Chain A
Amino acid sequence: EDKVVQSPLSLVVHEGDTVTLNCSYEVTNFRSLLWYKQEKKAPTFLFMLTSSGIEKKSGRLSSILDKKELFSILNITATQTGDSAIYLCAVENFGGAGNMLTFGGGTRLMVKP
């Protein structure tokens, strides 16, 4: 059974801290790993990773994938209160009738002023 596990489940930090969110996976026919940020409503796309060891960066956020050890991390530096959200990791794999996206349970991040 395909599985995506995120840790920690929740995290409380203060503004300016750096956080690392973890995502490990066990899926067949891996295609890519995606990170989403979910605030009040729909998840919004952050990164897509397909190759090991290549860091993707967007402002204070960065992410990297390790396909050998089957995990990814999402780093957020100099956190701000606007970073408070649920961060979702999802793995794309080829299912019986096409590609599917399996989500982890999410990490709830709260950034305090």
Chain B
Amino acid sequence: NAGVTQTPKFRVLKTGQSMTLLCAQDMNHEYMYWYRQDPGMGLRLIHYSVGEGTTAKGEVPDGYNVSRLKKQNFLLGLESAAPSQTSVYFCASSPGPWGTEAFFGQGTRLTVV
């Protein structure tokens, strides 16, 4: 019963470093999403994917890149981390459009110093 798994759970980066967050789902879902959550701001969509090999920009895409080479994985990359990217990152997946229930990962807490 893995559902949606995010790795790592915590990470501290220095400004300018790069890293990749991995989201893996074992439910054969088509749709996958990356969100960031900052205090008092709810969840903001970074990028999303409606199927293997497709990606699209969300509300706050700048400074991030994504890839969906395999249906079960959705990677979020930070090429040159900035303190403004300190946040909690959530991945989610759903079988189809959001009218169906979405499943969230447990989050990755990223601190950029």
Interface residues of A (CB under 8 A from B): 4, 6, 9, 31-32, 34, 41-45, 48, 50, 88, 90, 92, 94-106
Contact = CB atoms under 8 A, between A and B. Distances in A.
B74 interface: no
How many B residues touch the partner, as a band? Answer: 20 to 34
Contacts of B98: 31-32, 34, 90, 92, 99-101
| Consensus secondary structure, chain A interface | strand
Max chain B C-beta neighbours (<10 A), residue from A4, A9, A45, A101: A101
Contacts of A48: 99-101
B45 A102 contact: yes
A43 B43 contact: yes
A103 B35 contact: yes
A50 B57 CA distance: 25
Interface string B14-41: 0000000000000000010101000011
B50 A98 contact: yes
A6 to B, nearest CB: 8
Nearest to B90: A42
Nearest to B33: A101
Nearest to A41: B106
A103 B43 contact: yes
Nearest to A105: B42
B102 A99 contact: no
A94 B92 CA distance: 17
A45 B90 contact: no
Nearest to B48: A100
A88 B27 CA distance: 24
Contacts of B31: 98-99
Contacts of B43: 43, 88, 90, 103
A103 B42 CA distance: 6
Given A41-B106, A42-B105, A92-B99, A97 B42 contact: no
